Amino acid sequence: MGPGDHVLGAPDARIMLVEYGDYECPYCGQVHPIVSALQRELGEDLCFAFRHFPMGQAHPHATRAAQAAEAAGLQGRFWEMHDLLFENQDRLEEPYLRRYAERLGLDLHRFDRDIESEEVAAKVRSDFLSGARSGVNGTPTFFVNGERYDGSWALPEFLAYLVALLEEDAQPSI
């Protein structure tokens, strides 16, 4: 996990799960509740980070949605905005983003300034470039403990994979 990552869970968790995602991607929308279920099932053994990988050609509102999440993050509400964006994937145009900020009780003047800022744009670009350097070419793309995960996103299979890693880790070394 990097210093600029938004994380849920303990940084010393046994499993580090990183998702490169796009708020307008229907597959990311489908996997969002699965990631939440993984977090509930694995508890303190899982640390999750989300990195922006807006696929601007296919998803024209994805970059701006990522900027909205980052602007909310500057007010300590990244994860709340993150969830709202996934719950409302079909409404990511500018007026909706501001309504979500209002719903979260954000300082709207600051939100408006931050969403336009170079700091926010640079964070989204940095996440995207990190993904590109790591071979990400679509969303969602997951990394587990630094290794790309290309298995099933279905909850039973994904959870079984992560539990197996925990069990491997628990085996005494000879």
Domain count for the chain: 1
What contacts 90, CB < 8 A, 6 or more positions away? none
| CATH number, domain containing residue 65 | 3.40.30.10
Strands (E), the chain: 6-8, 15-21, 46-52, 141-144, 147-149
128-149 per-position pLDDT tens digit: 999 999 999 999 999 999 999 9
- What pLDDT digit, counting tens, does each position of 6-23 carry? 999 988 999 999 999 999
- The answer to whether position 1 is within a domain reads no
Domain carrying residue 125: 6-170
Is 72 a domain residue?
A: yes
pLDDT digits (tens, 9 = 90+) for 81-113: 999 999 999 999 999 999 999 999 999 999 999
Domain annotation covers residue 101: yes
Q: Specify the pTM.
A: 0.93
